[in-house]
Structure 1
Amino acid sequence: MSAKADVQLHDFTNIFSLSGKVAVVSGGSRGLGLHAASGLLQAGCSKVFITSRKAKACEEAVAALNALPTQGKAYSVPADSSKIEEIERLVKEVGKETDHVDILFANAGATWGAAFDETEEKNGWNRVMDLNVKGVFFTIQKFAPLLEKRATTENPSKVIVTGSVAGIMVGSLGANASFSYAASKAAVLHLARNLAVELGPRHILVNGIAPGFFPSKMANGLMEMAGGVETLAKQSPNGKVGQPEDVAAAVVYLSSRGANHVNGDTIVLDGGKIWGQAKL
């Protein structure tokens, strides 16, 4: 093979472009989901469907997204991703606007903090597991027909699930322990590996992200209890906590042609803090 042939890369300047793609983001009205939705639109998606349990929050998020200088459009479809009938309704509503989906960011999640002896079943365990694990599985299952519609080996659809570093290392313990959250995030990352093998032949690639600390409504309280942003930044080898661009870029990458050979993997977004613990 000649050197000239070796340097020829197919349309590489656009390898991270999402031009014309259709995306669905659960838990998309705030935090990591909203950051990702912004990135997906700015990377070229033509349609981004935002869903979360609260209709007002979805509408406010969509209004902010549609104010961005992009060619795409955001849509609000409120739904409770912990309930299968609500997921089925979500799929039907999305289906009214598009005959296919290229990208599914299954990001909806909840947490719960309490001491070991005080953790209770309904909210402390079932609610977290229903949304973080069961909801993710059935969201992917119910969207599979739309994800398959235009998917091919060279143009696969992409599914991304939100795990956490708490699902890789030990999560929060003590008075605000997050046993169900940590277990759920370990489960959803392993679910992604299993679905990568199951859905790969159907031209659907499945990967996970495992964020560390990112300022958000869900994480801010825990971050304060852990010493605040400045303290947490000093604990990370790269000297910072997560920023909106960090998660948006990871989701855009996994959604793009640049990740067409990435399947069943987890991108850890913590600045190397997991490995930095070895110094302590």
Structure 2
Amino acid sequence: MNQVHVQEIECLLVLAEELHFGRTAERLGCSQSRVSQLVAGLERRVGVRLVDRTSRSVALSRFGAQFVEDVRPAYQALSRVIVQARERARSRTLSQLRIGFHGSLYEEVTEAFRRLRIDHDVALVLSEIPLGSPFTALLDGRVDAAVVELPVNEPALTTGFRFPPQDRLLAVAAWHPLAGSGRVHVEELATLDVLHPRGDAPDYWRAARVPHTTPGGAPIRSTTGITTVEEGLALVAAGDHGMLVCRPLTERATRGDVRYLGIDGLDEASQMGLVWRKDRESWQLTTLAGLLDAEFVRSVDATKRIAV
């Protein structure tokens, strides 16, 4: 069976729409003589005249019209297959980063993720990690980086970007005796049962979340662990527990049964970081760190302009 070239089929389909050799050549990006050659070649392969042409007009022959009707669906299907194959091939060449996080992500973070995808063709796979296990998924290789609270003293890990420090506040039930004051002194933490993240986090990290004692040496009781922030807020609202939280969370987790109190005398701020394994540093990770830095600088500048 004679081989039929796809280019010849495409040329005939365009000519069937235009019925003009000049416009067909323009659409195909070739010369009129090339259009004539392609049509003539197809007619030789098929064995019948497909186009009736004179010096003044161009029309499909009866066989040509039927051929176009029969071949167009197959050509369109072939075109779809080629486009889909290109898209699959392109998706496989995209870089990919697996990012873990706990809590919620700032808008600056999601904007940096968007810029990484659009400007650098790096796809993001996001997964929430347990509140009390900030490093396990990283060390096990299940994620490439994690947005977690600092400090990070693990020898295998490095902090690629440090987010701006944020004030820590105390969450208590709306009906709690401390709720009406609006602020508490750090020594009053000793009067509460403060929730702590439950998981396999190292002791130094856990102590940074909930200190063992107040600056004055009074022990801080912490009998209950939580795995998510939402779980902690529910326990705060329903009982006598308190929970230390960062200020951005209070702006995103507003609810009528919980009050957020400033803490006088508490020097340590809350700070997040983008953390990854030292042996798996890549241009994708360092690019993301640079985008985060740019987004937060832009955010600070915008805040200053509003203040002025």
User: What TM-score results when the alignment is normalised by the length of structure 1?
Assistant: 0.25
Instruction: From the CA coordinates, give the structure whose radius of gyration is larger.
Output: 2
Structure (1 or 2) with the greater strand fraction: 2
TM-score (ref. length: structure 2): 0.23
